[in-house]
Structure 1
Amino acid sequence: MTSKTETIDQYLNEIPEERKKPISAILKVLRNNLPKGFEEGILYGMIGFYVPKELYPPGYHASKEWSPLPFINLASQKNFIALYHSGIYAIPELHDWWVQEYPKHSKYKLDMGKSCVRFKKIDHIPLELIAELAQKITPEEWIKVYEDNLKR
Structure 2
Amino acid sequence: MQSSAKTIEEYLSSIPEERKRSFLKLRETILNNIPKGFTEELSYGMLGYLVPHSIYPEGYHCNPKLPLPFINIASQKNFIALYHMGIYAKPELLEWFVTEYPKHSKQKLDMGKSCIRFKKMDDIPYDLIAALVQKMSVAEWINCYETQFKKSK
Give the shorter-chain TM-score range: over 0.9
CA RMSD of aligned residues (A): 1.0
* Aligned: 1:27 with 2:27: yes
Q: Which residue of 1 aligns with 2:70?
A: 71
Q: Which residue of 1 aligns with 2:113?
A: 114
Equivalent residue of 2:121, what SS? coil
Alpha-carbon offset, residue 118 of structure 1: 0.3
Measured in 2, the distance between the counterparts of 1:7 and 1:29 equals 20
Gaps of 5+ in 2: none
Alpha-carbon offset, residue 151 of structure 1: 4.4
Report 1:19-98 matches (<5 A).
Answer: 19-63=19-63, 66-98=65-97
Alpha-carbon offset, residue 41 of structure 1: 1.1
Measured in 2, the distance between the counterparts of 1:25 and 1:82 equals 13
Q: Count the aligned residue pairs.
A: 151
Alpha-carbon offset, residue 19 of structure 1: 1.3
Measured in 1, the distance between the counterparts of 2:114 and 2:9 equals 25
- Structure 1 segments (4+ residues) deviating >4 Å: none
Equivalent residue of 1:123, what SS? helix
| Counterpart AA for 1:12 | L
Gaps of 5+ in 1: none
